[in-house]
């Protein structure tokens, strides 16, 4: 299959390309770029990409695939299909499945299932502690050999600072970055939303901002004393952004991600006890949203990841206190992120960095980008296309999004993975 | 004048006018409870389900009495007698409730917002009989009625609410209700019991109980729960009683004709000294009486009656 992509504007942070360029895809690889591609006449399909943007395949480094164990919420098949529809050719999946990814056989199972599904590449993240119990260390060396790209007890923090220090040192031995879910549980007993005026008025127990940034500060301190790489997951508070900015200025090896809901929504989204807006960390205040946007703009926040967290009605169509935390994100990430470009907060190049190059570089995954000889992992964006978020149409098994019905601007037009069109809305 | 919407879920959704009409209607209906035959046929044939997801004999009995005085039929559904168990969605719960074809569902729930969520799923009227830490609108209405009967007005009254505001749905609804009706509301308690941003509901905060009670026309004490010791909201009942409990010395700081209110049940010797609870300024039993009257008014107004004109 020879595929010619004509007239698109290539935005590739890996090779510093930001200009119109034709591409030729052949045998799963990018066979030609620019003039060479333009001259090629014998394509099986020619995509007219005039007015569209061509990015290296996106990567989401924070996804919950729910398999093995909770396939009624999501499976590797449906989750990776949702990723393809969202423009992602690579995703990293968190280990907090019902059957925890805390041993090499689960890692191997995930990789095999993902290979069969073949909608995108899946990079398993393994647990730090067995069963995510916060005690002892997983066999990180064996897990790394089995294909794990990072270690995380995502869903909770490793509460014991001494153990976390050892985990950072041990993981660094095998070149595994540690992804930190920052939350001091003792500060948010029973909390279900951001602590503040909205929680008080609604009679809901609060999760204070400090429960996050206290652990962000702790993990920065641990990165400082160990020299090991620390990556802060789903940043939601102003103070966390400030702490990370300060740490980076001092040369501490810390990177960070945030998710579209943290730069789009505030705690007011839970009005009416909307359980689709119940997420951990919780949606915060307008000042936090502003700080996150600022952190994205100045590079303090390296990555936009979704924290895609599928849940069925059994977990969501219940009392707010009892509802599970989390929202799906793979299929809404691009339109929400593009809002930042439309508002001129990020250039498309900066956006592409945060969704292609940076997550791969943090996880030590090769990112050849758009160049001759590279695997043909390509995402085509139509940044001005009007879309209405329609959860029913999601490939994900779960529909728990607070963005349902919203009119957004910007869409994934096509996703090419290994030279195959895995999603086509051209 | 009807109430806004089919439900009564919180005080925020009622206007000053709505509240006045409910109180006026309650005043009219109150007289029924003093007759030898305490029953009028105005809600005959109406079905009211009392769905109490957490135990509360007092509020449930009050609604039951109110409904029966208006000749409505009531059915009780509690967590233990129903099949509503963990693992069910609220849609399952709503369907089970609707299957009884009720005209109104009175809901007490341990989770904030559950009555709101159920109200969106059912056609019948939902009356919130207390949800989590959020709201207890009929308690606020009966408190308003009690103050209005005693003081002749609510506007301009100084009311101080002392206790665990953070864990009190009564406090939230009373702050909203009294401030909406023009009273000056002061809340008081140790800092552990005052939630972030509470002043937006229309009150000021004082942490010294003497100062909070000083000059108050109404002093409302909230029940202190022993479990709060575990979560370190207070050091001991003794420490609480000394600094925040209402005793006769502290009560003398209030206005001369101040009244004492308490939503019950009382913790004598903790938030309120026995002699004060039983003293001449206490209107705690009147609150109970007024509770039946406002619940009659709310049922009557929601289930299609016209205010002010009950048939005899
Ligand atoms: Zn997390």
At B11-24, the pLDDT tens digits run: 999 999 999 999 99
**DSSP characters over A232-248:** E-S---HHHHHHHHHHH
- From A418, A377, A305, A371, select the one nearest A14 (Cα to Cα): A371
Phi, psi dihedrals of residue A113, rounded to the nearest 5°? -60, -40
Contact list in B for residue A197 (CB cut-off 8 A) is 196-197, 200
A399 and A354 both lie in a single domain: no
Is A219 a catalytic site residue?
no
Say which residue the tokens 């090991």 belong to.
A228
CA A82 to chain centre: 13
Q: How many CB pairs under 8 A join A and B?
A: 72
Ligand 1 centroid to residue A319 C-alpha, Å: 22
Contact list in B for residue A204 (CB cut-off 8 A) is 112-113, 132-134
Is B113 close to A320, i.e. CB distance below 8 A?
yes
Mean of pLDDT over chain B = 92
How many other CB atoms are there within 10 angstroms of residue B208's CB atom? 11
Q: At B299, is the pLDDT very low, low, confident or very high (cuts 50, 70, 90)?
A: very high
Contact list in A for residue B89 (CB cut-off 8 A) is 313-314, 317-318
Alpha helix segments (H runs only) across B33-104:
57-69, 90-98
**DSSP characters over B107-146:** EEESSTTHHHHHHTT-SSEEEEEEETTTB-HHHHHHHHHH
CA B149 to chain centre: 17
**Is any Cβ of chain B less than 8 angstroms from the Cβ of A203?**
yes
Ligand 1 centroid to residue A112 C-alpha, Å: 25
Nearest residue in chain A measured CA to CA from B116: A272
Is A314 close to B87, i.e. CB distance below 8 A?
yes
Full residue range of the structural domain in which residue A403 is found? 2-54+372-424
d(C-alpha A48, C-alpha A6), whole Å: 5
Ligand 1 centroid to residue A303 C-alpha, Å: 15
The residue with greater pLDDT, A214 or B85, is: A214
Contact list in A for residue B168 (CB cut-off 8 A) is none
- Give, in degrees to the nearest 5, the angle at Cα A262 between A258 and A266: 165
Long-range contacts of B27-36, Cβ-Cβ distance < 8 Å, separation of 24 or more = B27/B145, B27/B149, B27/B293, B28/B307, B28/B308, B28/B310, B29/B69, B29/B293, B29/B296, B29/B297, B29/B300, B29/B310, B30/B289, B30/B290, B30/B293, B32/B69, B32/B296, B32/B310, B33/B69, B33/B289, B33/B292, B33/B293
What residues contact residue B267 under an 8 Å CB cut-off, 6+ apart? B223, B224
d(C-alpha B65, C-alpha B61), whole Å: 6
Compare CB distances from A201 to B88, B91, B201 and report the shortest one's residue: B201
Give the up-direction half-sphere exposure of residue A299: CA atoms within 13 A in the CB hemisphere: 7
Q: At B80, is the pLDDT very low, low, confident or very high (cuts 50, 70, 90)?
A: low
pLDDT of residue B305: 58
Q: How distant is the Cα of B199 from the closest Cα of chain A, in angstroms?
A: 9
d(C-alpha A155, C-alpha A132), whole Å: 9
Per-residue pLDDT tens digits for B22-72: 999 999 998 888 888 888 999 999 999 999 988 888 999 999 999 999 999
How many other CB atoms are there within 10 angstroms of residue A161's CB atom? 13
Q: Backbone dihedral region of A87: left (phi > 0), alpha (psi from -120 to 50 degrees) or beta?
A: left
Cis, bond preceding A68 (omega within 30 deg of 0): yes
Query: Is the per-residue pLDDT at B1 higher than 70?
Result: no
Domain final residue, candidates A312, A335, A362: A362
Number of domains observed in the structure of chain A? 2
Q: Is residue A293 part of a domain?
A: yes
Q: What is the ipTM of this complex?
A: 0.92
Over range B150-161, report the average pLDDT.
Answer: 97
Q: Is residue A414 part of a domain?
A: yes
d(C-alpha A220, C-alpha A230), whole Å: 7
A412 and A272 both lie in a single domain: no
A330 and A262 both lie in a single domain: yes
**Strand locations in A27-111 (E):** 29-33, 45-48, 53-56, 58-63, 88-93
Cβ < 5 A residues, ion ligand 1: A 154, 181
Q: How distant is the Cα of B133 from the closest Cα of chain A, in angstroms?
A: 4
A230 and A304 both lie in a single domain: yes
Domain final residue, candidates A319, A344, A362: A362
What residues contact residue A112 under an 8 Å CB cut-off, 6+ apart? none
**Is any Cβ of chain B less than 8 angstroms from the Cβ of A318?**
yes
- What are the percentages of helix, strand and coil residues in chain B, rounded to 5? 40, 15, 40
Contact list in B for residue A273 (CB cut-off 8 A) is 112-114, 116-117
Q: Which of A187, A188, A200, A205 to mutate to test the interface with B (most CBs of B within 10 A)?
A: A200
Ligand 1 centroid to residue A249 C-alpha, Å: 25
Q: Is residue A367 part of a domain?
A: no
Q: Is residue A70 part of a domain?
A: yes
A163 and A145 both lie in a single domain: yes
pLDDT of residue B151: 97
Say what the pTM is. Answer: 0.94
Per-residue pLDDT tens digits for B107-138: 999 999 999 999 999 999 999 999 999 999 99
Ligand 1 centroid to residue A100 C-alpha, Å: 15
Cis, bond preceding A94 (omega within 30 deg of 0): no
Are the C-beta atoms of A198 and A270 separated by less than 8 Å? yes
A45 and A69 both lie in a single domain: no
Q: Residue A421: helix, strand or coil by DSSP?
A: strand
Ligand 1 centroid to residue A179 C-alpha, Å: 9
Domain final residue, candidates A314, A331, A362: A362
Window 88-107 of B: residues touching A by CB (8 A cutoff) are 88-91
A16 and A102 both lie in a single domain: no
Contact list in A for residue B134 (CB cut-off 8 A) is 202-204
pLDDT of residue A1: 80
CA A74 to chain centre: 16
d(C-alpha A271, C-alpha B113), whole Å: 10
- Sign (positive/negative) of CA torsion B244, B248, B249, B254? positive
pLDDT of residue B37: 87
A350 and A393 both lie in a single domain: no
Nearest residue in chain A measured CA to CA from B9: A272
A229 and A349 both lie in a single domain: yes
Domain CATH for A306: 3.20.20.140
Ligand 1 centroid to residue A267 C-alpha, Å: 18
Catalytic residue of the set A307, A321, A366, A382: A307
Q: Is residue A121 part of a domain?
A: yes
- Give the distance between the most distant pair of CA atoms in chain B: 55
Over range B211-232, report the average pLDDT.
Answer: 91
**Is any Cβ of chain A less than 8 angstroms from the Cβ of B136?**
no
Ligand 1 centroid to residue A280 C-alpha, Å: 7
Domain CATH for A15: 2.30.40.10
Nearest residue in chain B measured CA to CA from A198: B197
Compare CB distances from B89 to A195, A199, A314 and report the shortest one's residue: A314
A116 and A248 both lie in a single domain: yes
A279 and A304 both lie in a single domain: yes
d(C-alpha B297, C-alpha B20), whole Å: 11
**Is any Cβ of chain B less than 8 angstroms from the Cβ of A320?**
yes
**Is any Cβ of chain A less than 8 angstroms from the Cβ of B195?**
yes
Structure tokens that stand for B270 in this block: 């903790």
Query: Is the per-residue pLDDT at B86 higher than 80?
Result: no
Are the C-beta atoms of A396 and A328 separated by less than 8 Å? yes
Are the C-beta atoms of A223 and A247 separated by less than 8 Å? yes
Residues in chain B: 312
- From A150, A102, A156, select the one nearest A122 (Cα to Cα): A150
What residues contact residue A59 under an 8 Å CB cut-off, 6+ apart? A88, A89, A90, A91, A92, A355, A356, A359, A360, A365, A367
The per-residue pLDDT string of chain A (426 residues; one tens digit each, 9 = 90 and over) reads: 899 999 999 999 999 999 999 999 999 999 999 999 988 888 899 999 999 999 999 999 999 999 999 999 999 999 999 999 999 999 999 999 999 999 999 999 999 999 999 999 999 999 999 999 999 999 999 999 999 999 999 999 999 999 999 999 999 999 999 999 999 999 998 899 999 999 999 999 999 999 999 999 999 999 999 999 999 999 999 999 999 999 999 999 999 999 999 999 999 999 999 999 999 999 999 999 999 999 999 999 999 999 999 999 999 999 999 999 999 999 999 999 999 999 999 999 999 999 999 999 999 999 999 999 999 999 999 999 999 999 999 999 999 999 999 999 999 999 999 999 999 999
Ligand 1 centroid to residue A114 C-alpha, Å: 22
d(C-alpha A98, C-alpha A70), whole Å: 6
Contact list in B for residue A200 (CB cut-off 8 A) is 195-198, 200-201
Q: Sort strands A254-258 and A303-304 into parallel, antiparallel or unpaired.
A: parallel
Structure tokens that stand for A383 in this block: 């940044």
Structure tokens that stand for B160 in this block: 């101080």
**Is any Cβ of chain B less than 8 angstroms from the Cβ of A204?**
yes
Q: Is residue A236 part of a domain?
A: yes
A136 and A220 both lie in a single domain: yes
- From A367, A364, A363, select the one nearest A377 (Cα to Cα): A367
Compare CB distances from B135 to A195, A203, A313 and report the shortest one's residue: A203
**Is any Cβ of chain A less than 8 angstroms from the Cβ of B135?**
yes
> Residue B214 burial (CB < 10 Å; 0-12/13-18/19+)?
middle
Say which residue the tokens 């529909």 belong to.
A399
Q: How distant is the Cα of B196 from the closest Cα of chain A, in angstroms?
A: 5
Q: Which of B113, B171, B180, B189 to mutate to test the interface with A (most CBs of A within 10 A)?
A: B113
Buried b / exposed e along B87-101 (16+ C-beta atoms within 10 A): ebbbebbbebbbeee
Say which residue the tokens 């220090």 belong to.
A165
**Is any Cβ of chain A less than 8 angstroms from the Cβ of B111?**
yes
Range name among A272-286, B167-181, B264-278 with the lowest pLDDT average: B264-278
């Amino acid at each position: 299959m020879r595929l010619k992509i004509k007239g698109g504007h290539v935005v590739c942070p890996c090779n510093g390309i930001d200009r119109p360029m034709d591409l030729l895809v052949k045998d799963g690889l990018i066979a030609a770029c620019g003039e060479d591609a333009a001259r090629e006449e014998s394509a099986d399909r020619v995509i007219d990409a005039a007015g569209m943007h061509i990015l290296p395949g996106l990567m989401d480094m924070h996804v919950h695939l729910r398999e093995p164990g909770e396939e009624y919420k999501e499976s590797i098949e449906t989750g990776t299909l949702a990723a393809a529809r969202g423009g992602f050719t690579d995703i990293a999946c968190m280990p907090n499945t019902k059957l925890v990814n805390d041993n090499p056989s689960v890692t191997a199972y995930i990789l095999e299932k993902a290979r069969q599904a073949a909608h995108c590449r899946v990079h398993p993240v393994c647990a730090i502690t067995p069963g995510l119990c916060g005690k002892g260390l997983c066999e990180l060396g064996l897990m790394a050999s089995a294909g794990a790209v990072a270690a995380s007890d995502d869903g909770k923090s490793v509460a014991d600072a001494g153990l976390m220090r050892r985990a950072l040192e041990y993981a660094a031995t095998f070149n595994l970055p540690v992804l930190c879910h920052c939350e001091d549980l003792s500060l948010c007993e029973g909390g279900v939303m951001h602590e503040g005026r909205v929680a008080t008025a609604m009679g809901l127990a609060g999760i204070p901002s400090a429960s996050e940034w206290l652990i962000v500060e702790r993990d920065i301190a641990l990165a400082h004393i160990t020299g090991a790489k620390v990556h802060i997951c789903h940043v939601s508070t102003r103070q966390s952004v400030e702490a990370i900015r300060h740490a980076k200025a001092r040369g501490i090896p810390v990177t960070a991600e945030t998710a579209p809901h943290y730069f789009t929504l505030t705690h007011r989204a839970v009005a009416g006890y909307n359980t689709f807006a119940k997420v951990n960390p919780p949606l915060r205040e307008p000042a936090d949203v502003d700080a996150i946007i600022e952190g994205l703009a100045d590079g303090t926040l390296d990555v936009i990841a979704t924290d895609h967290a599928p849940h069925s009605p059994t977990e969501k169509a219940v009392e707010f206190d009892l509802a599970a935390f989390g929202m799906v994100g793979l299929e809404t990430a691009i339109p929400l992120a593009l809002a930042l470009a439309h508002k001129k907060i990020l250039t498309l190049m900066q956006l592409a960095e945060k969704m292609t190059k940076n997550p791969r570089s943090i996880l030590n995954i090769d990112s050849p980008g758009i160049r001759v000889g590279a695997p043909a992992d390509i995402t085509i964006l139509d940044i001005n296309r009007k879309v209405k978020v329609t959860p029913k149409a999601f490939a994900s098994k779960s529909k728990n999004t607070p963005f349902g019905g919203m009119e957004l601007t910007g869409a994934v037009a096509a996703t090419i993975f290994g030279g195959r069109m895995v999603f086509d809305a051209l | 004048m009807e109430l806004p919407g089919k439900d009564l879920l919180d005080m925020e959704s009622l206007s000053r006018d709505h509240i006045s009409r409910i109180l006026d209607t309650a005043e009219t209906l109150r007289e029924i409870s003093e007759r030898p035959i305490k029953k009028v046929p105005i809600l005959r044939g109406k079905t009211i389900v009392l769905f109490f997801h957490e135990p509360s004999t007092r509020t449930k009995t009050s609604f039951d009495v109110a409904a029966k005085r208006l000749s409505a039929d009531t059915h009780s559904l509690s967590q233990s007698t129903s099949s509503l168990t963990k693992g069910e969605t609220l849609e399952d719960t709503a369907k089970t409730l609707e299957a009884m074809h009720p005209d109104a569902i009175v809901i007490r729930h341990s989770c904030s917002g559950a009555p709101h969520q159920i109200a969106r799923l059912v056609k019948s009227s939902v009356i919130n009989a207390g949800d989590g830490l959020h709201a207890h609108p009929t308690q606020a209405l009966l408190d308003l009625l009690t103050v209005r009967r005693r003081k002749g007005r609510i506007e301009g009254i100084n009311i101080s609410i002392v206790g665990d505001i953070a864990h009190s749905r009564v406090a939230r609804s009373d702050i909203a209700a009294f401030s909406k009706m023009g009273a000056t509301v002061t809340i008081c308690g140790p800092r552990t019991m005052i939630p972030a941003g509470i002043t937006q509901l229309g009150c000021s905060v004082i942490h010294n109980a003497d100062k909070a009670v000083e000059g108050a026309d109404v002093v409302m004490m909230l029940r202190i729960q022993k479990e709060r010791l575990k979560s370190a909201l207070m050091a001991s009942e003794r420490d609480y009683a000394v600094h925040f409990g209402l005793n006769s010395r502290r009560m003398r700081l209030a206005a001369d004709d101040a009244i004492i209110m308490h939503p019950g049940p009382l913790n004598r010797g903790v938030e309120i000294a026995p002699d004060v609870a039983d003293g001449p300024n206490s209107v705690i039993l009147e609150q109970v009486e007024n509770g039946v009257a406002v619940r009659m008014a709310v049922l009557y107004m929601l289930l299609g009656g016209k205010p002010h004109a009950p048939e005899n």
